[in-house]
Amino acid sequence: MRAPSEDPRDELVKHLAPLRAFAFSLTRNMAAADDLVQDTIVKAWTNIDKFTKGTNLKAWLFTILRNTFYSSVRKHRREVADPDGIHAQSLFVKPDHDGRLAYRDFQRAFDQLSPEHREVLILIGASGFSYEEAAAMMDVAVGTVKSRTSRARRRLSELMFLADGEDAFSGVDQASLTVMGRSGIEAA
Amino acid sequence: MLNKAGSKKKMYPDMADSNPKSKIMGQIDENLKRIYNETLNEQVPDKLMQLLDQLRKKSDQAAADTEGDPS
């Protein structure tokens, strides 16, 4: 009856890692991310007849995942960040002074963004979707994706104490670092 | 089957690389990719692989039960 190569469910396994990466960028908590991927897989499996063959399965799966995430956030209205997790450990670590944005500072700023901002940044900036694909997944206009992306970037820069056009490469002074450390704790 | 992930264009093609803002934006993208790729490159937990196996077995079983055709 079933030709395995024609069943999109056989392709799901290939998308587990990207789904986890996307889920973690929304939840910032690995256990919650894995639960979210699990729910997504079950929904995808049971609703596979709603998937149009030949279209982008990864985008379809990402759409299920983000919709599942937001409906659960709306239901529970709980803090999904991981205040006592790996990120808290890095609060007092000095950033690199090698002219790069310190990755731990970046992670800390990223954690403080809203899920909507993290989502759009990861979809556009990291997972390789186009504005058009992201707009379809998020069910908003392309222009909304673009403006949300630029707001999210600006917010991220602000959280890292990088004003527009400021040179990020001379290093951050110690006072700012102390404030950043504190704001990290307050946010957590 | 592949998505068009590889075909995405540069985010700020109109900005000169010497522009500090575009440098920051470039580094933001670099760090976003790093955040994403760290999880992407992790091994997928067995629990999720097993879930797919279970779903497949259940579907095949259901198909066999209703159609008497397990192939």
Q: Report DSSP letters for A125-187, one per residue.
A: IIS---HHHHHHHHTS-HHHHHHHHHHHHHHHHHHTT--TT--TTS---HHHHHHHHHHHHHH
Q: What pLDDT is attached to residue A113?
A: 95
Q: Is B37 in Cβ contact with A16 (below 8 Å)?
A: no
Q: Is B62 on the interface with A (CB under 8 A)?
A: no
Distance, CA of B14 to CA of B16 (rounded, Å): 7
Structure token digits, residue B46: 């067995």
Q: What is the pLDDT of residue A13?
A: 96
- The residue with tokens 């929904």 is A43
Given CB atoms, is B64 within the 8 Å cutoff of chain A? no
Q: CA of B35, closest CA in chain A: separation in Å? A: 8
Tens of pLDDT along B7-61? 444 444 444 456 777 888 888 999 999 999 999 999 999 999 999 999 999 988 8
Instruction: Say if B16 is an interface residue toward chain A (CB within 8 Å).
Output: no
How many Å apart are CA B62 and CA B45, to the nearest integer? Answer: 26
CB contacts, 8 Å: A24 with chain B = 39
Domains A8-80 and A86-188 equal at CATH topology level: no
Which residue in A2, A12, A168 is closest to B52 by CB distance?
A12
Question: Residue A74 has what pLDDT?
Answer: 82
Structure tokens at B66: 């209703």
Domain A86-188, architecture per CATH = Orthogonal Bundle (1.10)
What is the C-alpha to C-alpha distance for residues A69 and A96, in angstroms, rounded to an integer? 34
Residue closest to A185 by CA, chosen among A104, A77, A112:
A112
Cβ contact (<8 Å) for B28 and A125?
Answer: yes
* Locus of tokens 């759409």: A63
What is A8-80's CATH number?
A: 1.10.1740.10
**A54 — alpha (psi -120 to 50), left (phi > 0) or beta?**
left
Q: What ranges do the domains of chain A cover?
A: 8-80, 86-188
**Which of A47, A121, A155 is most worth mutating to test chain B (most B CB atoms within 10 A of its CB)?**
A121
Number of Cβ within 10 Å of residue B43's Cβ equals 7
Do the chains contact at B40 and A125, CB–CB below 8 Å?
A: no
pLDDT digits 0-9 by tens, A49-100: 999 999 999 999 999 999 999 998 887 765 545 444 444 444 434 445 555 6
What does pLDDT average to in each consecutive run of 10 residues of chain A (188 residues)?
Answer: 71 97 96 97 96 95 97 71 43 48 88 96 95 97 97 91 48 46 43
